[in-house]
Structure 1
Amino acid sequence: MTMRKAFLLLLTVVILASCAVTQDSNDYVFPTRTGKLLYLRSYNNALRLWKVKYEEADVVTSYGLAHVIVSGPKNGKPVVLMHGTDASSTMWFPNVKALSQKHRVYAIDYPLETGKSLATVKDMEPKDMVAFYNQVFAHYNLKDINLVAASRGGWIATLLTLEPENRVAKLALLSPAQTFGGVDKLGKAFTAVKLKMFPSPKRLNKFFEQFSKHPEKIDRKYKEQFYLANKFGRSKPDLIKMYRFPKEQLQTLAIPVMVLVGDHDVINDRDILQRAAETIPHVDTLLVKDAGHFISIDQAAIVNQSVIEFIDKK
């Protein structure tokens, strides 16, 4: 067994073990109503960081309710934001104002992770992930979508885009997890497992120190939400299902793709940019200096400008 598989297996076992809690609610992610209420309060507090008008909606899908936060002009190009594990859509607080200035932005919470979406299923296979997002896209009649996705969201976004029939026009991947390779720095990445197993403020700070180059840029409201996600949430990201995409698959991506990676990312090494350039026919790559895995927060201005230029480029 490789180190990557061992890491993913251990994290999955931890998450599954944390799910073995007697529930007093019908929620697969939050075992207790009290925990969920505290988390939702912190979610709403984090939304105050957006500094832009938004609407919240719940879209009915075959997998439960999809919570969507919508911003920007109705006639703008559609931009869909897909968050990382347990980060929820509120992670986009440093980016949404710039992205929604001219574009119609849809931020979607993944249903089997902490957020406001509500799953009616206990598990989702890759084909179910594709179906879930496609049902949300169909609800809004979205076509020619610009997908902007971070970490685990980047893997799902790539999965979506590789489908023969999809609605994606452009794909922007920000520190995508497992898409081009495995975990780069296992020791530092293991802080995520420790936080999940034994959540505490000290372990939260250690996690952000490893996953962010500038943890001081992460607002305390968001830090509190992320902490409560680990303390009360029982997410099922099913990381062992996140296989590395074969080169032959990635070569079929005919649309424009952009890959951004921080030079201090604990998940991806900078070599993935070379692998992406050698594999994807139409790709732009950028190594963002002074940034970690939380690249969209560490260097928000650079990420915002890069994504907007990529989306608007003809």
Structure 2
Amino acid sequence: MPDYITNASTLDATYFKAYDETLNLWNIPFEELYIPTTYGIAHVIVSGPKNEEPIVLLHGMNASSTMWYPNIESLSKNHRVFAIDFILEPGKSYLFNDIENVEEVTDWYEEVLYVLELESFHLIGASRGGWLAVNLALHNQEKIKSLLLLSPAQTFIWIRPSLDLFKNIVTLLSSKDKQIDQSLESMSTDVENISDTYLKQYKIGLERKSENKFVTSMKPFSNEELKSLQMPVLVLIGDDDMINEKRTIEIARLLPKGKGEVIPNAGHFLSIDQAKLVNEKMVTFLNQ
């Protein structure tokens, strides 16, 4: 365990404690790896049988790998799962050399995957992690067995104007707590369904320094880029998704091996809002 964990500042120590408390929600055995890379330390949570096919998980913005707490048991049952904390956001990864552009983000992920010796794997990304997953897939087609995207942000279409988006903009003038509450209400159909333990970690994480860069670089991929993806692709969005709409699914179905579905009674946080159904969809797709 590296020094930035064992000798953490007060705020970081509070966050890491909250992170570990959320990991208690996983209810399955796991191990934590700290991998030295060119840009810093990559924190990876590993679970599932060692000899099964690997899955790599890329979490949503500011969410950290603990966001998979409602899904990890199902995904780990018949797969070896590697959940990577994005080095530029709250989590247990640690940046010490600046990352200047999206290309270097891809380089960082590729370095982590190389150390993990993952030559072939399934890739699952949520929200911003979905955009990062597609970007990574475009550079590593031969390695990725399938691509599963949960409400990918700015990947197929631009984020559409909506009442929820307007409310989020208006609350920028309010207190930080109110901003967070409004953001959660716009992203989830049932905020009370989100674990209080996870919400505590999430809110502390927003207080820490975060290198939340390259958001403006997240532009929808061109039809030519998307149609070049040769692996099976499944896109799931919620029917009350602030980030996507049905056109996302229509574009996904135009991919060579693309599928798309709308999950009922779910928002942008569909993996939490409708965890049981989303887990069934993901496992079925992975097994096929």
Using the size of structure 1 for normalisation, the TM-score is 0.85
State the AA in 2 paired with 1:153: G
2:240–2:266 contact (8 Å) kept in structure 1: yes
| Paired position in structure 2 for 1:312 | 287
Moved more, 228-237 or 115-124: 228-237
For residue 271 of structure 2, what is the aligned residue in structure 1? 296
Q: Which digits, 9 at most, give the CA deviation of each residue in 1:245-298, with x for residues without a partner?
A: 0111111111100000000011111211012212x1101111000000001000
Distance 1:86 1:306 in 2: 25
2 CA distance for matches of 1:94 and 1:41?
20
SS in 2 for 1:122: coil
Is 1:50 the counterpart of 2:31 in the alignment? no
Structure 1 257/165 Cα, relative in aligned 2: closer, same or farther at 3 Å? closer
| Matches for 1:108-119 after TM superposition, within 5 Å | 108-119=84-95
* Structure 1 residue 192, shift from structure 2 partner: 5.9
Select 2:79's aligned residue among 81, 93, 103.
103
Q: Which of the numbers 250, 266, 272 marks the counterpart of 1:274? A: 250
| Structure-1 residue corresponding to 2:37 | 61
**Structure 1 residue aligned with 2:69, among 89, 93, 98?**
93
Looking at structure 1, the residues matched to 34 and 111 of structure 2 have their Cα atoms a distance apart, in angstroms, of 12
Given candidates 16, 37, 47, the residue that maps to 1:71 is: 47
What amino acid is aligned across from residue 160 of structure 1 in structure 2? L
Is the contact made by 1:86 and 1:235 (CA closer than 8 Å) also made in structure 2? no
Q: Which runs of 5+ in 2 are unaligned?
A: none
Q: 1:174 to 1:220 in 2, by over 3 A?
A: same
Asked if the contact 2:54–2:79 (Cα under 8 Å) also holds between the matched residues in 1, the reply is yes
| Preserved CA contact (<8 Å) 1:199 1:227 | no
8 Å CA contact 1:189, 1:211 repeated in 2: no
Aligned to 2:132: 156
**What's the counterpart of residue 155 of structure 2?**
179
Aligned-partner SS, 2:35: strand
Q: Is the 8 A contact 2:246 2:262 kept in 1?
A: yes
Taking a change above 3 Å as real, the CA distance of residues 213 and 127 of structure 1, as seen in their structure-2 partners, is same
Equivalents in 2 of 1:245, 1:106: separation in Å?
Answer: 26
CA deviations 1:16-65 (Å, max 9, x no partner) are xxxxxxxxxx98xxxx9332222112111111111111101111111111
Q: Give the conservation status (yes or no) of the 8 Å contact 1:73–1:104.
A: yes
Distance 1:274 1:165, change over 3 A: closer
Q: CA deviation at 1:77?
A: 0.9
2:214 & 2:107 partners in 1: Cα distance?
17
Deviation at 1:201, TM superposition (A): 3.3
Give the Cα–Cα distance (whole angstroms) in 2 for the partners of residues 93 and 296 of structure 1. 9
Q: Where does residue 125 of structure 1 map in the other structure?
A: 101
Query: In 1, Cα distance between the equivalents of 2:173 and 2:22?
Result: 24
- Deviation, structure 1 residue 140: 1.6
Does residue 1:147 correspond to 2:147, yes or no? no
* Larger RCO (CA under 8 A, 6+ residues apart): 1
Aligned-pair distance for 1:165?
A: 5.5
Task: Give the CA deviation at 1:195.
Answer: 7.8
CA distance in 1, matches of 2:206, 2:39: 23
- Whether contact under 8 Å (1:68, 1:108) holds in the other structure is yes
Shift of 1:237: 3.5
The whole-number CA distance in structure 2 between the counterparts of 1:99 and 1:143 is: 19
Distance 2:21 2:269 in 1: 20
Partner Cα distance (2:173, 2:91) in 1: 19
Structure 1 pair 91/193, CA: closer, same or farther in 2 (3 Å)?
farther
Between stretches 245-254 and 164-173, larger displacement belongs to 164-173
- State TM-score, norm by structure 2: 0.92
Native 8 Å contact 1:160 1:166 kept in 2: no
Match of 1:204 in 2: 180
Structure 1: unaligned runs, 5 residues or longer: 1-25
Q: State whether residues 168 and 182 of structure 2, in contact with CA within 8 Å, keep that contact through their aligned partners in structure 1.
A: no
Deviation at 1:302, TM superposition (A): 1.1
Q: Pick closer, same or farther for the CA change 1:115–1:210 going to 2, 3 Å.
A: same
- 1:295 maps to amino acid: L
- 1:195-215 residue CA offsets vs partner (Å, 9 max, x unmatched): 888664333222211100111
Query: What root-mean-square deviation, in Å, do the aligned CA atoms of Structure 1 and Structure 2 show?
Result: 2.1
Deviation at 1:194, TM superposition (A): 7.5
Confirm or deny that 1:35 pairs with 2:8: no
